[in-house]
Amino acid sequence: MALVNPLPVEPLPAYAIDDASGLDLAAVRADFPILSRRVHGRRLVYLDNGATSQKPRAVIDTLLRYYEEGNANIHRGVHFLSVEATEAHDQARNIVQRFLNAASANEIVFVRGATEAINLVAQTWGRANVKSGDEILVTAMEHHSNIVPWQMLCEEKGAHLKVAPIDDSGELILEEYKKLIGPRTRIVATTHVSNALGTVVPLKRMIEIAHSRGVPVLVDGAQSAPHMRIDVQALDCDFYAFSGHKVYGPTGIGVLYGKHALLEAMPPYQGGGDMIASVTFEKTTYKKPPHKFEAGTPDIGGAIALGAALEYVNQLGMDRIAAHEHDLLAYATEAVGAIPGVRLIGTARERAGVLSFILDDVHPHDLGTILDNDGIAVRAGHHCAQPVMLRYGVPATTRASFAVYNTREEIDLLVQGIQKAREVFA
Amino acid sequence: MPEVNDLYQEVILEHSKAPRNYRQPATTNQSAEGYNPLCGDHFTVYLDVEGDSIRDIGFQGSGCAISRASASMMTQLVKGKSRAEAAKLFEQFHGLVTGEANGNGSDLGKLAVFSGVCKFPARVKCATLAWHTLQSALAGTQEVVSTEDDQ
């Protein structure tokens, strides 16, 4: 689709790019073609990165090149293109391994996204290890994707879902968490960063506590992988799930990391081609992980483009990205928080990527429409985290969520938009 | 380019702040719940139906300005109407907010202020939630109406 009336890339005002990150923001923005699109006649201000991030030229070009020049099925052919595609796919797995600092590329399973990764663990590890009367512990700030798969498993097995509570600021209450890990707890499934509140949980401590009682931990990293350096070995988490499309990659591709011994012992997820060692009508034997969990032709182009996205992140430097986003979040928290009638939802000491708030007398949906009319994209709703909304007694919030290409100037436009909404509803 | 003032007309803002018939009539004999799972809007429409006539109507719940104002003005419009008249009004209203009809020659009266909704397609469901709920209450079905079930 051609861009509608693309705007020339405009120089950014000095204050908008003057933060401590050391990133060349004007150059970063030029990497993302969509940022020159007009929406309702205005330059797009994209602040819905928690839902999905935009894609840099490098990722778009990789997809294009794969389909124009490199398309073939993997692990099948003796022909040139198949070998080339297989190598590129393997290479993408290696890039993911390095991105997470996993011990081996065999611990990286390609899936559709964080949701499928969690479902995979619930349906394989979970069905093999969770029994009637057992308990699964989640936190009060999970996305539905880290609640519902476990509820389905609990229903099937007669197990119980336990919920570690949060305080009013949106921080996990570690003492309560500790108490909830009992002799029947089989797994802890926790978010790393809350998509609705932005809270960064004390993950290393949580994992230590769980492990001291012999309980494995699955981490929903959908909102952490885009914003901070991830080291699954340093964390010592047992599973880590993330979605490619939130970290500048395409939709439809994501990753499940699992410790090799766990993956090895787990039954397969889906059956089909590419996951088998041999098949007869009497008996099928399976490949070793990760292939055991990758039945059928995978999203080859998506995986290769995810590799390009993570390379792009590496090139900018995750520490620089994190520093810039931290600056944006601090700037936005102060500027939005200072608007009369604004109540911030989620004020944990450590947050990443997300500013969630409500505005007196203006419903988030109405605010979302007024902002959209000025070309500002935010999310208005329950953010697939209805229990969080219930915890704060609000039906919905407005959420601005940030990526590397956002600027302080865009936050100023957000603030102006909120002021405008206040005037409309005055 | 649509302007937000096309959507947030003065009458709509006024009804959203002070919705009419925001109550459960004492003689309620039919009701239904309507829910928009995408944004969390949630209303109950209460009816006092006698024979073919909507003798009284009220609503309660929470939602955005468009959904509240639409529910409020709907209750004023359909009170005293027959089932068939209410169904016809819904059809006309639906045509208005989706841009399929311009409202000329309709019986919608001051509900014509919702014509701006058609320029904001993301908000059509907000405007029609109460009407869908009314339809369900009249039909006497016990299921919660969801804006997402028929899409």
Question: For A127-141, how does the pLDDT look when each residue is reduced to its tens digit (9 = 90+)?
Answer: 999 999 999 999 999
Instruction: Output the pLDDT for position B150.
Output: 47
Chain A closest-CA separation from residue B4 CA (Å):
6
**CA proximity to A301, closest of A252, A246, A247:** A252
Smallest CA–CA distance from A384 into chain B, residue: B38
Smallest CA–CA distance from B15 into chain A, residue: A425
Taking phi first (over 0 means left), then psi (-120 to 50 degrees means alpha), and beta for anything else, what does residue A317 get? left
Q: How far apart are CA A113 and CA A250, in angstroms?
A: 10
Instruction: Output the pLDDT for position B39.
Output: 73
Q: Do both A136 and A227 map to the same domain?
A: yes
Domain that holds residue A107: 60-314
Chain A closest-CA separation from residue B69 CA (Å):
12
Chain A closest-CA separation from residue B54 CA (Å):
30
Instruction: Output the pLDDT for position A185.
Output: 98
Please tell me if residue B124 touches chain A, with a CB cutoff of 8 Å: no
Those of residues 57-86 in B touching chain A at CB distance below 8 A are 62-66
Q: Do both A251 and A159 map to the same domain?
A: yes
Q: How far apart are CA A247 and CA A227, in angstroms?
A: 8
Q: How far apart are CA A74 and CA A91, in angstroms?
A: 13
Q: Which of B7, B38, B42 sits opposite A381 (nearest CB)?
A: B38
Judged against a pLDDT cut of 50, whether residue A1 lies above it is answered with no
Residue in this structure with the two tokens 């059509």, named with its chain if needed: B124
Q: How far apart are CA A263 and CA A304, in angstroms?
A: 23
Q: Do both A35 and A65 map to the same domain?
A: no
Tens of pLDDT, residues B62-75: 999 999 999 999 99
Q: Do both A211 and A291 map to the same domain?
A: yes
3-state DSSP call for residue B132?
helix
In a domain, A53, yes or no: no
Residue in this structure with the two tokens 């919702």, named with its chain if needed: B114
Task: Select from A4, A366, A416, A419 the residue whose CB has the most chain B CBs within 10 Å, as the one to mutate to test that interface.
Answer: A366
Q: Which residues from B are below 8 Å from A381, CB to CB?
A: 38-40
Element (DSSP H or E) covering residue B32:
strand B30-36
Confidence of residue B1 (pLDDT cuts 50, 70, 90): low
Beta strands in A140-247 (DSSP E): 160-164, 185-191, 217-220, 239-243
> Does the beta-carbon distance from B66 to A365 stay under 8 Å?
yes
Judged against a pLDDT cut of 70, whether residue A10 lies above it is answered with no
For chain A, the domain total comes to: 2
At A323, which amino acid appears? A
Q: Which residues from B are below 8 Å from A362, CB to CB?
A: 65
Q: Which residues from A are below 8 Å from B123, CB to CB?
A: 365, 369
Q: Do both A325 and A289 map to the same domain?
A: no
Judged against a pLDDT cut of 50, whether residue A2 lies above it is answered with no
Pairing outcome for strands B41-50 and A379-381 = unpaired
Those of residues 347-366 in A touching chain B at CB distance below 8 A are 361-366
Report the interhelical angle of B65-78 vs B83-98 (nearest 10°).
Answer: 150
Residues of A that are catalytic: 384
Q: How far apart are CA B56 and CA B80, in angstroms?
A: 7
Task: Select from A373, A384, A418, A424 the residue whose CB has the most chain B CBs within 10 Å, as the one to mutate to test that interface.
Answer: A373
Beta strands in A1-97 (DSSP E): 38-39, 42-43, 45-46
Q: Do both A261 and A370 map to the same domain?
A: no
What is the share, in percent, of chain A residues with pLDDT greater than 70? 96
Chain A closest-CA separation from residue B40 CA (Å):
6
Domain end marker among A314, A334, A366: A314
Q: Do both A191 and A284 map to the same domain?
A: yes
Q: Do both A188 and A173 map to the same domain?
A: yes
Q: Which residues from B are below 8 Å from A366, CB to CB?
A: 8, 64-66
**CA proximity to A240, closest of A253, A252, A223, A264:** A223
Q: Do both A274 and A382 map to the same domain?
A: no
* Exposure b/e, A174-202, CB count within 10 A at least 16 = b: eeebeebbeeebbbbbbbbbbbbbbbbbe
Domain end marker among A263, A282, A314: A314
A238 touches A126 (CB < 8 A): no
Per-residue pLDDT, averaged over A352-369, amounts to 95
DSSP state string for A240-255: EEEEGGGGTS-TT-EE
Q: Residue A265 has which token pair?
A: 């012992």
Per-residue pLDDT, averaged over A174-183, amounts to 98
Smallest CA–CA distance from A389 into chain B, residue: B40
Q: How far apart are CA B97 and CA B73, in angstroms?
A: 14
In a domain, A261, yes or no: yes
> Does the beta-carbon distance from B65 to A395 stay under 8 Å?
no
Smallest CA–CA distance from A363 into chain B, residue: B64
- Helix, strand, coil percent values for chain B (each to nearest 5): 50, 20, 30
Instruction: Output the pLDDT for position A138.
Output: 98
For residue A360, give the CATH number of its domain.
Answer: 3.90.1150.10
Q: What is the pTM of this model?
A: 0.93
Chain B closest-CA separation from residue A337 CA (Å):
22
A328 touches A298 (CB < 8 A): no
Q: Which residues from B are below 8 Å from A396, CB to CB?
A: 39-40
Smallest CA–CA distance from B13 into chain A, residue: A425
Domains of chain B and CATH, by start: 4-138 (3.90.1010.10)
In a domain, A37, yes or no: yes
For residue A267, give the CATH number of its domain.
Answer: 3.40.640.10
Q: Residue A52 has which token pair?
A: 């999905």
Asked if the interface predicted TM-score (ipTM) of this complex is over 0.95, the answer is no
Q: Do both A193 and A249 map to the same domain?
A: yes
Residues 6 or more apart whose CB falls under 8 angstroms from that of B38 comprise A381, B125, B147, B148
- Give me the numbers of helices (H) and strands (E) for chain B, helices first please: 5, 4
> Does the beta-carbon distance from A424 to B4 stay under 8 Å?
yes
A176 touches A168 (CB < 8 A): no
What is the share, in percent, of chain A residues with pLDDT greater than 90? 88
Q: Do both A260 and A347 map to the same domain?
A: no
Per-residue pLDDT, averaged over B92-116, amounts to 89
In a domain, A4, yes or no: no
Mean pLDDT of chain B: 91
Domain end marker among A269, A287, A314: A314
Q: Do both A163 and A182 map to the same domain?
A: yes
In a domain, A183, yes or no: yes
Q: How far apart are CA A383 and CA A392, in angstroms?
A: 13
> Does the beta-carbon distance from B66 to A381 stay under 8 Å?
no
Per-residue pLDDT, averaged over A209-237, amounts to 98
Strand order of the β-sheet with B53-62 is B53-62, B41-50, B30-36, B145-146
In a domain, A7, yes or no: no
Please tell me if residue B127 touches chain A, with a CB cutoff of 8 Å: no
Those of residues 371-390 in A touching chain B at CB distance below 8 A are 372-373, 380-382, 386, 389
Chain B closest-CA separation from residue A101 CA (Å):
37
In a domain, A81, yes or no: yes
> Does the beta-carbon distance from A396 to B2 stay under 8 Å?
no
> Does the beta-carbon distance from A425 to B13 stay under 8 Å?
yes
**CA proximity to B36, closest of B87, B70, B84, B77:** B70
Q: Exposed/middle/buried for A289, CB within 10 Å: 0-12, 13-18, 19+? A: buried
Task: Select from A5, A39, A369 the residue whose CB has the most chain B CBs within 10 Å, as the one to mutate to test that interface.
Answer: A369
Q: How far apart are CA B25 and CA A189, in angstroms?
A: 46
